[in-house]
Amino acid sequence: MAAEVRLKKLEELVLDQRAVGLETLVDLLLCVHHELSTSPLAQEKYIREFLQWGESLCLLYIIS
């Protein structure tokens, strides 16, 4: 898919009133974080970095 087409679809999603909210995205991030942290993939470098990033981001969201 061309970059212009992807950008247009992204713009449509952002402008759409039915777009996913922040709480839903944080819930999704928490689910992905939990699934990855309990799998053998958690030992891989990039997964481990994602888990650290996701954990700190979720903590910031919960605190605020």
Q: Could you report the per-residue pLDDT of 2-52, keeping only the tens digit for each?
A: 888 888 887 887 777 676 777 888 888 888 988 999 999 999 999 999 999
Task: Report if residue 48 sits inside a domain.
Answer: yes
- pLDDT above 80: residue 55: yes
Global pTM exceeds 0.85 = no
Q: Which tokens in the block code for residue 55?
A: 């954990």
**Which 3 state secondary structure label does DSSP give 19?**
coil
pLDDT at residue number 49: 93
pLDDT at residue number 57: 82
**Please, where are the H alpha helices in 16-44?**
22-37
Task: Report if residue 30 sits inside a domain.
Answer: yes
Task: Report if residue 5 sits inside a domain.
Answer: no
CB within 8 Å of 20: residues ≥ 6 apart: none
Task: Report if residue 1 sits inside a domain.
Answer: no
Task: Report if residue 6 sits inside a domain.
Answer: no
Task: Report if residue 26 sits inside a domain.
Answer: yes
Task: Report if residue 14 sits inside a domain.
Answer: no
Domain extent, residue 55, equals 19-63
Overall domain count for the chain: 1
Residue 51 to residues 12, 28, 29, 40, Cα–Cα distance (Å)? 30, 13, 10, 13
